[in-house]
Amino acid sequence: MKIPRRNFLFLAGAGLLRGEDRPKLDMLVRSVRPEDLEMPLSGFADYITPIDHFFVRTHVYAPKVDVDSWRLKVEGEVATPLTLTLEDLKKMPAVEMVSVAECAGNGRGLYEPPVPGLQWGTGAVGNGRWKGVRLADVLKRAGSKETAKDILFDGADVPLGTMPDFQRSIPVKKALDAYTILAYEMNGETLPVKHGFPLRVMAPGWASDSWVKWLTSIRVLDKEHDGFWMKSSYRHPGKPVAPGSAVPLEKMQPVTSLHVKSVIAAPLDGTQVLAGKPVMIQGVAWSGDAGPVTSVEVSVDGGRSWKPAVLRPEQRTQFGWRQWGFHWTPSQEAYYTILARARDAAGNTQPLDGEWNPAGYSWNVVPRVGVDAVKELSAASPALPPAAPNAAQPGVFKSACAVCHEDDVVRQQRLTRAQWDREINKMTGWGARVKDEDRAGLLDYLFSNYGPRPRNR
């Protein structure tokens, strides 16, 4: 359900033009609906990511929440079940803090061999300033019992077809952490609809898949929650597996903390710089529970030698990102490979190669940017790769697939026949209607048009 623009002011209950109402600038659209937007590399130039540059990740359509009738329920293993209004929450002590929000799937598009899912590059991440109430205070108010093990969150978004409702849980230890909050403000503004208005979970240091938006229910459980989005999604083998292999879900563990990571925002890959002239190599770096980032090193010779980059001291927070810079003058006309490697307070650093995993989570490989140092910049910048061919779609694709979402989520995949077969099963399980006699043709169409192929970079 799309929220008509004119409803925003009504929802906000105020006349301010919220981040919501401003157009999202030059975002990379990974899915038109449900809306999935990626921040372009230029976004790393900001310390606090403006709302119109903040990535958006929605599994289903953003719900329309009327704040007057909205309530937060706290139930389960508690002495006093609660039903709270937004005003009730705002009367409780507020905390504000800077934290990165990063989707577990950020960088999925970089894995080889490719894996199914939104093909995020580097920008399913943003650095926000979040304000709200401590989850620990809310749980205390409800009288959370000794038996509490896992805290389950549910939001107002409604599943599509027969897909399971998006519900996520975090262990009680993370829930009681003083930094875990229920946020109602982002960057000093009312939490925008796309980011979970009126209330979302903010579990800093952890992948934002745990940061449930449009929160309506908190359930204190005496055992680990075993719903689809915990047991069949967001799981990682936690150790190297053969690229391309299938790993049973029970052999994997939930994605929790983010891993130390850096991004090179400038210069851009494949561009030219002037030989003999200073170039500022710039980027950001962040970590998770093991933050803050303590150092970033840069190599301009493909990893043979490394030198420290300069970090902003005032940005040394546990959960926010840190901007870094490195002054470099390419001494001669040559092709240079620039690498960056961050280290966090626990001494973790970034791997040189991706640890492949079936769903493409937690990418934190050392970033690599190639530039040509030349005497004179040539007028033409490198040509963009040609657009993917838009082959004629069979009827079954139109009637069964381009229904809940557009064909964009399909066109970005590069999957094997076996992976496409599993995708069809997943989607028919969620309600896609594919007749038996059409199935083989659909599989052929998907595989022949969106099968493995070299990446357009």
Binding of residue 39 to ligand MTE (CB under 6 A): no
Binding pattern for the stretch 154-193 against ligand HEC, x by CB under 6 A and - elsewhere? ------xx-x------------------------------
Listed in sequence order, the residues at least 6 apart from 154 whose beta carbon sits closer than 8 Å to its beta carbon are 165, 166, 167, 212, 215, 216, 217, 219
Binding of residue 101 to ligand MTE (CB under 6 A): yes
Binding of residue 101 to Mo ion (CB under 5 A): no
Pairing of strands 150-155, 215-221: antiparallel
**What are the φ/ψ torsions at residue 342 (nearest 5 degrees)?**
-95, 155
Binding of residue 218 to ligand MTE (CB under 6 A): no
Q: Which one of 57, 108, 131, 343 is in contact with Mo ion (CB under 5 A)?
A: 57
Binding of residue 241 to ligand HEC (CB under 6 A): no
Q: Measure CA 139 to chain center.
A: 27
- Candidates 86, 59, 63; CA nearest to 7 is 63
Note whether 187 and 97 are within 8 A (CB): no
Size of the site for ligand MTE (CB under 6 A): 19
Binding of residue 209 to Mo ion (CB under 5 A): yes
- Candidates 388, 452, 454, 446; CA nearest to 416 is 452
Binding of residue 152 to ligand MTE (CB under 6 A): no
Note whether 344 and 270 are within 8 A (CB): no
Note whether 404 and 161 are within 8 A (CB): yes
Q: Which one of 30, 195, 236, 322 is in contact with ligand MTE (CB under 6 A)?
A: 195
For residue 94, give both structure tokens: 């507020």
Q: Which one of 11, 103, 182, 400 is in contact with Mo ion (CB under 5 A)?
A: 103
Stretch that binds Mo ion, among 43-51, 56-64, 172-180, 305-313 (CB under 5 A): 56-64
Q: 417-429 and 436-450 helices cross at what angle (nearest 10)?
A: 130
Binding of residue 193 to ligand MTE (CB under 6 A): no
Select the residue whose beta carbon is closest to ligand HEC and give its number. Answer: 161
Q: Which residue is listed with tokens 């995708």?
A: 423
Which residues in this chain contact ligand MTE in the complex, by CB under 6 A? 54-59, 101, 103, 155, 157, 166, 194-195, 208-209, 211-214
Which residues in this chain contact ligand HEC in the complex, by CB under 6 A? 59-60, 116-117, 160-161, 163, 400-401, 403-405, 409-410, 413, 423-424, 426-427, 430-432, 434, 446
